[in-house]
A and B are shown apart, each in its own frame.
Chain A
Amino acid sequence: MPMPDTDTSSPKYLRDKYAIVGVGETTYTRGSGVTTRALGTWAVRNAIEDAGLKASDVDGMLSYQSGDSTFSTFIAGDLGLRLNFYMDVFGGGSSTEALVGMAMGLIEAGMCRTVAIFRAMNGFSQVRIGGTGARAAAPIMGDALHGRTYGWQSAGQMFAPTFMRHMHDYGTKPEQVAHVKHFHSCHASNNPKAFYKKRYSVDEVLNSRIICKPLHLLDCCVETDNGTAIIVTSAERARNLRQHPVLIRGVVGRCSKPRTDMHYQTGPISTVAGHYAKDILWPNSGVGPEDIDLTGSYDAFTFTTMLQLEDYGFCKKGEGGDYVSNGTIKLGGKRPNNTSGGHLCEGYTHGVNMVVENVRQLRHDVDDYCPIGPDGKRQHTYDYREGGCRQVKNAELSANLGWANPGTGSAMVMRRG
């Protein structure tokens, strides 16, 4: 029997068809004292509870890691979930948004109904994310012969030529970029969960010791131990769940510059993957950067935040230094970035906690120091002084910009349902 023609009447985009309905975390800490299996299990459990779902409602699981975590099978087994789909992928900071896109595709294809995505890591007490310890001692083979042999191993070392060239090409100043840490640390001071809650001035960043130029110690993120998770399901199902739905407008996943891992061979190296990813993200989302109320631009380093905001079009190419220092990205500014304090201050999770934060922002229920009212909801004051509020007023649209390295990135736009 001949198959019917491909249906061309279906909408091209999946805008607002899927939602993030649950988020879960463990304590952002150094020295979790437990396995990544426990961290992953507890984060997924917390996300399922947050959504108001039962174990039997979750039938899909996705995770990512780089040989430093526990596979989905153990997490699902520990929680008594029976899965219709699971997959554990290799990778880091560009994975969160990419896996959300995969979850949408899985549900759209009818392969499962509700997907838990997690990242569990002892990034301080086991496999150190900064690359010290076992990773630094392993024999040098293959592609690493052209990198680690030269003392070019850690993320900071490998990204630095891109950062330096941006300063050379556009006159970007260290003090402009240091504002990212200043603002994110101010945000973290209003976040009871943040590993570092202290506010840092621009001068304190510039006076901290040089790790590898142009990175001072305080330009670099924190290494922590934690599990984080999010739950993706259809917008239809989301309407009957516990939380105010947060809808997914559009996703771009692991979009790359030419030659990906050897990206420094091609094009201007002061341009990053967002330059390509923006042409998928904004059309998929049906909005542009000017519509966005808050961002979650990956802050493995102060510079990664700047480069992505610039290449996704939040300012003109080359004006990232001004954009991140002129007050736009601070709480109370036009478009705050990483209101939790991000990887620089809250904790390092390879991206999930920045999505968790924006989900809570779009629920208008971020977990700051504001008092909780009789309805169980926080009464936000919008007073952003230290130890106060970090809720963005009337937050409707957010953008998360995930970074693996200068050559690869992912992004997602979410909106309040």
Chain B
Amino acid sequence: MAIQATYLDMPLAIDDLDVENLAYFKHCAAHDFRLQRCTKCNLLRYPPTTACPWCMNPKSDWVPVEAKGAVHSYTEVHHAIQPAFKAHTPYLVLLVDLDTQKGKPTKDEALRVMGNLTTPDGKLAPADMVRKVGIGTRMRMVFADAGPGIAIPHWTIDEAAQQPAKPWRYPQE
């Protein structure tokens, strides 16, 4: 069923035809991170798509995936473009390499999942937390509820994980 929601004052919409995104966010709403796994070659993929990028098979199953990994790259936004983000600068946009399927099917590939840096309860992180995170920081997924049938997956620092001594950060603070 179609989803209309408001998240950070931004209108989100998924219509009935977009079955891949409906499925993805329906699982997120239950705080259950699932990705499509190809029924033929068994590789996972992200973001949701309509066929397997490694074997063209259109069929897939939504399977639970452990949502932990390390920051592959990021940007720290100081000048927001979208009005909804102006109150939250600086904010981090993170590209996180999941541990699951890292280095497959070729060594430079990974399931690289987008998200903001948030507190453990899914709120955009305050500036002092933003300054702690860089390339290599270990992350775990959390969800920000956005309405019936939808929650937004995000990343927070994995307190239980062994963190790198000094994650790589842009040299100018």
- Residues of A bordering B, CB below 8 Å: 130-132, 136-137, 139-143, 145-154, 157, 160-162, 164-165, 167-168, 173-174, 206, 209-214, 217, 258-259, 262, 264-269
Contacts and interface: CB of A to CB of B under 8 A. Distances in A.
Contact of A146 (B13, B47, B80): B47
A206 B170 contact: no
Interface of B: 7, 10-15, 18, 21, 25, 45-47, 49, 53, 72-85, 88, 91, 93, 95, 106, 108-112, 114-116, 135, 152, 168, 170-172
Contacts of A131: 81
Given A139-B13, A140-B13, 17 more contacts: A136-B81, A147-B114, A151-B77, A151-B80, A151-B81, A151-B91, A151-B116, A152-B93, A161-B75, A161-B95, A206-B172, A213-B75, A217-B79, A267-B106, A267-B108, A269-B72, A269-B73
B112 A265 contact: yes
Contacts of B77: 151, 157, 211-212
A213 B15 contact: no
Contacts of A164: 73-75, 135, 170
5 contacts: A139-B11, A141-B15, A143-B47, A210-B172, A213-B76
A168 B81 contact: no
B153 to A, nearest CB: 9
A134 to B, nearest CB: 12
Contacts of A173: 171
Contacts of B14: 141, 145
Nearest to B75: A160
Contact of A149 (B10, B73, B78, B110): B10
A169 to B, nearest CB: 10
A296 B19 CA distance: 43
A154 B73 CA distance: 17
B54 to A, nearest CB: 10
A147 B78 CA distance: 17
Contacts of A262: 47, 49
Given A139-B13, A154-B81, A149 B7 contact: yes
Contacts of B74: 160-161, 164
Contacts of A165: 72-73, 135
B166 to A, nearest CB: 12
Contacts of B109: 265-267
Contact of B12 (A132, A140, A168, A212): A140
Nearest to B82: A136
A148 B116 CA distance: 11
B137 to A, nearest CB: 13
A206 B110 CA distance: 33
Contacts of B171: 173-174
